[in-house]
Amino acid sequence: MSDVDVGEKLGEKEKPGEKPGEKPGEKLSIEARLGLVAFTIDSEAHIKVKEEVCKECKLRYCLFVCPAKLYTEEDGEIKFNYEGCLECGTCRIACPQDLDWNYPKGGFGAHYQYG
Ligand code: SF4
Ligand code: SF4
């Protein structure tokens, strides 16, 4: 079963002021879950793309694999915004080049809520 609109499928419309996922048994969509992640942003990027290398890269997997969609292409150039990084490591694995990838420094980065 899809995790979207479970309550709606069961005919249980949200009440005013009620957020998705507050009804018992209702699951949050991926987008709603990602919306719960809080970030403490460092002034220095923990992942650095190498512009010269990216210019020559034909594969550009980073554009497709990042769940937070932090890699974009503008006028043929790769742009990367480290803010909002979920620290999943997918781009590190997918990039065929030596991506300068590190976890954020202590206290910075994503703060997940569990439960
Ligand atoms: S896959 Fe790696 S080298 Fe290619 S554009 Fe993306 S970050 Fe640059
Ligand atoms: S670590 Fe994950 S969320 Fe962060 S930039 Fe790479 S793919 Fe995107």
Q: Are 94 and 49 in contact (CB under 8 A)?
A: no
Summarize pLDDT for 12-58 with one digit per residue, the tens: 555 666 665 566 778 888 888 888 899 999 999 999 999 999 999 99
Where along the chain do the CATH 3.30.70.20 domains lie? 37-115
**pLDDT at residue 9 is higher than 50:** no
Specify the pLDDT at position 35. Answer: 86
66 lines ligand 1 (CB under 6 A): no
Beta bridge partners of 75: none
Q: Ligand 2 centroid to 9 CA: how many Å?
A: 33
Specify the pLDDT at position 113. Answer: 83
Specify the pLDDT at position 115. Answer: 59
Summarize pLDDT for 57-97 with one digit per residue, the tens: 999 999 999 999 999 999 999 999 999 999 999 999 999 99
Q: Ligand 1 centroid to 100 CA: how many Å?
A: 11
59 lines ligand 1 (CB under 6 A): yes
Q: How far apart are CA 45 and CA 101, in angstroms?
A: 9
Instruction: Give the global pTM.
Output: 0.78
Supply the residue whose CA is at minimum distance from atom 4 of ligand 2.
Answer: 85
Question: Which of 38, 33, 51, 46 minimizes the C-alpha distance to 97?
Answer: 51
Specify the pLDDT at position 98. Answer: 84
Specify the pLDDT at position 30. Answer: 81
Question: Which of 39, 90, 31 minimizes the C-alpha distance to 66?
Answer: 90
Specify the pLDDT at position 7. Answer: 41
Q: What is the CATH number of domain 37-115?
A: 3.30.70.20
Q: Are 112 and 37 in contact (CB under 8 A)?
A: yes
